[in-house]
Amino acid sequence: MRFFSPYFILSFLLAFGAATAAYSQTKGNLWLATGLQLQSGRDRGFSPMIYSGNRSFSLAAFGIESPHKTETFQFEFGYGPLTNRFGNSLNALSAGLLNYTFYHKESPAERGLHWGWSNQNVFNIRRHNGFTNYSLRYDYFTAIGPALRYTYPFEWKGQSFKWQTLAHWQVVGFQIKSGYIGADPEGLSEEKTGFGNLLRAVDPFFAGKEWSMGLESSLIWTLPTGNSLAIRYRPEISSLGGGQPVQRLGQAVLVMVTIRLW
Amino acid sequence: MVKQARYFWILVFFLLSCEQWVLPTDPSPDPIEVFDRLWEDVNDRYSFFSHKAIDWEQVRETYRARVSDDMGQLELYELLADMLFELRDGHVNLSTGFNRSRNWDWYQEFPVNYDENLIEQEYLGTDYWISGPLLHQVLDEVLYVNYRSFAQRISESNLQVVVERAKRSRGVIIDVRNNGGGNLSNAELLASAFAEEEMEYARQRIKSGPGPEEFGPWEPMVLNPWEEGTFTGLVVVLTNRRSYSATSFFAQMMKTLPNALLLGDQTGGGGGTPVFGELPNGWTYRFSATQTVDLENRQLEDGVLVDLRLDLDPAAMQRGEDNLIEAAISLLRR
């Protein structure tokens, strides 16, 4: 409680006000969304079988829109059990940070097609419920690639709506994946220096050998307050090669609230 | 708008058409496919082909000729079980729901050297202490501890009781005969109560690729003294051929300690940690995917040798004695 003293809160509000003034040409938005994701995946380290199921999926995003570009930082979280066609199950958790930057110097931000780039960072971990040993496996990748956004505002029965679709394709980056048998990546414990081991465990991510791409398509109803409600459909695929390949396919339907911050 | 909306539909169509390409459907559950999957996975991940001089290609030739897509489930199970039996490994099983294949040759051809009724009647008696899975009784000023499965968790308070009683005795007998193994962390916890200092007791390596000699580096397995206090007096560990898997690891830990010795018959082995797998028809299986060697590079898969070799004597049993326990008591009272 001592940390959150009145002086600290006052300092924070002053700093926040100053930052907001500096961003007077910008708009700030916060998105909160939750829903269900139908996920299917295969980890050859566990099985040649597909495991699929509906799991909870949520995201929180913060966006800054300036006259020439829009930046979005989106944190995502999914968790739930997946089963194969014989009823064997695993629990799958994922957490990620997906960032977009779109440029709109030549056209208004509220309408039209905008190009940009994206950066995706995803950590997936799964525990097999039928295996006593080596039941935990995980993977992580960070990659960048091009992104596309299409926004179409329209009115219906006197209400303001917007249809927005974002697409991203990850081209180059790096990945860390569980080993051939165990949870730890190959090479992680070969030397005593932690950093050297970490470098040994990292593999490149190249489009063609690895894949990660997705869409986020939203129908947004803008309220008179400037806030909005939306539904979002979000298909995505990813595939990591090398060692024991991991493939994943997800389709999420989310209910979303957008809060206008400034 | 119409022109630009085309981009969206092209993207959706492209993404959905990737499904089959990114995530192909499950493999067929036909017997030939099932056989090939099992053979291939064992070929890629099993860890003892070289050590046991097993020609797995030859095994494939022998068994695949007998597989056909019109064979029944029971017939296929028996064929796959026979093929896995060739690995001569107690950590290999095929589980089908109606049966589970196994290889128990590692103890079935050897002396039993253990009589649980005799121990209960003549040694544990009726007033022995039960501290979790540890059954213990004082015999001629020596603490006798019987532990029947490393799958049963030992809590710190369980161990505390045993250590306190051990400190008031002239030595400890830990009987892990017929203990078929379980969780290695229980083995480490129990052994740590008798370790005076940090000690490397074995080295382990794990398969890192499909080649028969593709392994990660050897990594030391280290035993640390229990932080709550240890008993550093004399300890005798009783083992037999049914002491397997985590029990072999426990025996190896104790063998490394300067204050402990092993008495009885060597352990059954089980030095490879099993990895699990799944077949396209839903059957699951496991097999060894690691190798563990002692400090003299001897595979724990072949069992941990005892310091004093002794079999249970039928004449002693007739007299109501377990001559292994009697020998251990004599050693500790000497």
pLDDT at B4: 61
Asked if A128 and B19 touch (Cβ cutoff 8 Å), the reply is no
Compute the distance between CA of residue B45 and CA of residue A46 in angstroms, rounded to an integer.
Answer: 12
Distance between start and end Cα atoms, chain B: 97
Q: Which chain A residues in 32-91 lie under 8 Å from chain B, judged by CB atoms?
A: 40-42, 46-50, 84-86, 88
Instruction: Tell me: pLDDT of A18 over 70.
Output: no
Interface test with A, best of B38, B100, B208, B213 (most A CBs within 10 A): B208
What is the pLDDT of chain B when averaged over all its residues?
94
pLDDT at B59: 98
Q: Which chain A residues in 148-167 lie under 8 Å from chain B, judged by CB atoms?
A: 148, 150, 152, 165, 167
Compute the distance between CA of residue B50 and CA of residue B205 in angstroms, rounded to an integer.
Answer: 14
> Quick check: helix, strand or coil at residue B258?
coil
Interface test with A, best of B2, B4, B43, B214 (most A CBs within 10 A): B4
Under an 8 A CB cutoff, do A248 and B23 touch?
yes
pLDDT at B106: 86
Under an 8 A CB cutoff, do A249 and B23 touch?
yes
pLDDT at A6: 64
Asked if the B116-271+292-333 domain carries CATH number 3.90.226.10, the reply is: yes
Q: Compute the CA torsion angle B117, B120, B121, B124 (nearest 10 deg).
A: 160
* Distance in Å, alpha carbon of A113 to nearest chain B alpha carbon: 7
Strands (E) in chain B, as ranges, are 93-95, 129-131, 134-139, 142-147, 172-175, 199-206, 219-223, 235-239, 260-264, 274-278, 284-288, 290-293, 308-309
Instruction: Tell me: pLDDT of B2 over 60.
Output: no
Instruction: Tell me: pLDDT of B3 over 80.
Output: no
Taking contacts as CB-CB distances below 8 angstroms, the residues of chain A near B206 are 179-182
Closest residue on chain A to B91 (Cα): A133
Instruction: Tell me: pLDDT of B81 over 50.
Output: yes
Domain definitions of chain A by residue range: 27-260
pLDDT tens per residue, range A149-179: 999 999 999 999 999 999 999 999 999 999 9
- Closest Cβ–Cβ partner in B12, B25, B45 for A181: B45
Residue A1: which pLDDT band, with cuts at 50, 70 and 90? very low
Interface test with A, best of B276, B284, B285 (most A CBs within 10 A): B276
Compute the distance between CA of residue A129 and CA of residue A51 in angstroms, rounded to an integer.
Answer: 12
The residues with which A229 forms a beta bridge, in sequence order, are: A221, A257
Mean pLDDT on A197-219:
91
pLDDT at A22: 54
Cβ-proximal residues to A190 (8 Å cutoff; 6+ apart), any chain: A197, A200, B216, B217
Mean pLDDT on A114-130:
97
Domain definitions of chain B by residue range: 116-271+292-333
* Distance in Å, alpha carbon of A228 to nearest chain B alpha carbon: 23
Helix/strand/coil (H, E, C) string of chain A?
Answer: CCCCCHHHHHHHHHHHHHHHHHCCCCEEEEEEEEEEEEEEEEECCCCCCCEEEEEEEEEEEEEEECCCEEEEEEEEEEEEEEECCCCCEEEEEEEEEEEEEEECCCCCCCCEEEEEEEEEEEEEEEEECCCCCCCEEEEEEEEEEEEEEEEEEEEECCEEEEEEEEEEECCEEEEEECCCCCCCCCCCCCCCCHHHHHHHHEEEEEECCEEEEEEEEEEEEECCCCCEEEEEEEEEEEEECCCCCEEEEEEEEEEEEEEECC
Interface test with A, best of B17, B21, B26, B30 (most A CBs within 10 A): B26
Compute the distance between CA of residue B235 and CA of residue B253 in angstroms, rounded to an integer.
Answer: 12
Give the closest residue to B59 by CA, choosing from B51, B74, B45, B49: B49
pLDDT tens per residue, range A84-102: 999 999 999 999 999 999 9
Taking contacts as CB-CB distances below 8 angstroms, the residues of chain A near B37 are 48
Under an 8 A CB cutoff, do B276 and A167 touch?
no
Under an 8 A CB cutoff, do A237 and B15 touch?
yes
List the CATH code of the domain at A27-260.
2.40.128.100
Residue B17: which pLDDT band, with cuts at 50, 70 and 90? confident
Under an 8 A CB cutoff, do B23 and A41 touch?
yes
Under an 8 A CB cutoff, do B209 and A180 touch?
yes
pLDDT tens per residue, range B89-148: 999 999 999 999 999 988 988 999 999 999 999 999 999 999 999 999 999 999 999 999
pLDDT at B19: 72
Q: Which chain A residues in 5-24 lie under 8 Å from chain B, judged by CB atoms?
A: none
Instruction: Tell me: pLDDT of B15 over 60.
Output: yes
Hunting for tokens 């796959």 — which residue is that? B80
pLDDT at A186: 82
Closest residue on chain B to A46 (Cα): B277
Give the closest residue to B173 by CA, choosing from B79, B261, B249, B92: B261
Instruction: Tell me: pLDDT of A58 over 60.
Output: yes
Compute the distance between CA of residue B283 and CA of residue B76 in angstroms, rounded to an integer.
Answer: 11
Using the 8-state DSSP alphabet, how is residue B146 labeled?
Answer: E
% pLDDT > 90, chain A: 76
Interface predicted TM-score (ipTM):
0.87
pLDDT tens per residue, range B194-252: 999 999 999 999 999 999 999 999 999 999 999 999 999 999 999 999 999 999 999 99
B209/A contact by beta carbon, under 8 A = yes
Under an 8 A CB cutoff, do B12 and A215 touch?
yes
- Closest Cβ–Cβ partner in A131, A211, A248 for B276: A131
pLDDT at A207: 94
Instruction: Tell me: pLDDT of A5 over 70.
Output: no
Count of residues for chain B? Answer: 334
Residue B302: which pLDDT band, with cuts at 50, 70 and 90? very high
% pLDDT > 70, chain B: 96
Under an 8 A CB cutoff, do B4 and A132 touch?
no
Under an 8 A CB cutoff, do A133 and B217 touch?
no
Compute the distance between CA of residue A212 and CA of residue A209 in angstroms, rounded to an integer.
Answer: 10
Asked if A180 and B217 touch (Cβ cutoff 8 Å), the reply is no
Using the 8-state DSSP alphabet, how is residue B207 labeled?
Answer: B
pLDDT at A188: 73
- Closest Cβ–Cβ partner in B15, B27, B286 for A48: B27
pLDDT at B34: 97
pLDDT at A196: 74
Strands A202-206 and A172-177: antiparallel
pLDDT at A197: 75
Compute the distance between CA of residue B280 and CA of residue A173 in angstroms, rounded to an integer.
Answer: 34
Residue A50: which pLDDT band, with cuts at 50, 70 and 90? very high
* Distance in Å, alpha carbon of B225 to nearest chain A alpha carbon: 23
> ∠ CA(A186), CA(A187), CA(A192), 5° rounding?
145
